[in-house]
């Protein structure tokens, strides 16, 4: 028996548009972001996918993206679990800063290290490894059991919380995962074998 896991990064947020570090701050989706989330739902509906349960973070950009998808597939009232374990990486002191301003303050090289290294956190924030340390146990204990029972599960979350999941699913190293780019509102459909290994992976870009 194989199950299906669908991962979707939230649609464009107002702070994505403004080039700000967002982290655990809670800006809304832009008009484009709403459209991206609705398109994700339409793409999943076109594949005939419906869900047994949905998971999202406690940040509105992911919650609204999740709801747009459920509305599109005709499951507006589906049981949805909201948990901060799926929140975006906490950018600490960088949160709310324009990325160009951060480079001016700390230097291009240092900001690049904070953004793109696997295990170096920004001041008072989380590294990608730190993010994984809360995402992986949550996935293993809460999400994966549904998939291994043959269910179809939606996870609408964030670039870095999903990057951590993809690292585990795809067997990536720290060096490899930092190069993974996730488009806003682009569904990634995994089919898992009964032993939790990946049977197939499909990125629905159009």
Q: Is 82 a catalytic residue?
A: no
Q: Is 14 a catalytic residue?
A: no
36, 63, 88, 126: which is the annotated catalytic residue? Answer: 88
For 17, counting Cβ atoms within 10 Å of its Cβ (0-12 exposed, 13-18 middle, 19+ buried), the class is middle
User: CA–CA separation, 201 vs 96, rounded Å?
Assistant: 34
CA–CA distance from 113 to each of 34, 121, 142, 174, 180 (Å)? Answer: 31, 9, 32, 13, 15
10, 63, 68, 126: which is the annotated catalytic residue? Answer: 10
3-state secondary structure of 147: helix
CA–CA distance from 76 to each of 44, 57, 121, 131, 163 (Å)? Answer: 14, 17, 37, 29, 27
Number of H helices, E strands in the chain: 9, 6
Catalytic positions, written as ranges: 10, 88
């Amino acid at each position: 028996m194989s199950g299906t896991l669908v991962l979707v990064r939230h649609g464009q947020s107002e702070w994505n548009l403004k080039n700000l570090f967002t982290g655990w701050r809670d800006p809304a989706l832009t008009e484009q972001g709403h459209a991206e989330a609705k398109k994700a739902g339409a793409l999943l509906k076109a594949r005939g996918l419906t869900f047994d349960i949905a998971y999202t973070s406690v940040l509105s950009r992911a919650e609204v993206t999740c709801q747009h998808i459920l509305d599109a597939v005709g499951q507006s009232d589906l049981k949805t679990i909201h948990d901060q374990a799926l929140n975006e990486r906490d950018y600490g002191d960088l949160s709310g800063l324009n990325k160009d301003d951060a480079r001016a303050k700390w230097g291009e090289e240092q900001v690049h290290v904070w953004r793109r290294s696997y295990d170096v956190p920004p001041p008072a924030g989380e590294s990608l490894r730190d993010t994984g340390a809360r995402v992986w146990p949550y996935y293993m204990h809460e999400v994966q059991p549904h998939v291994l029972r043959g269910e179809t599960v939606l996870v609408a979350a964030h670039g870095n919380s999903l990057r951590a999941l993809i690292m585990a699913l795809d067997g990536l190293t720290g060096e490899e995962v930092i190069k993974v780019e996730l488009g806003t509102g682009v569904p990634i459909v995994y089919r898992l074998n009964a032993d939790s290994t990946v049977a197939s992976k499909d990125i629905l870009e159009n």
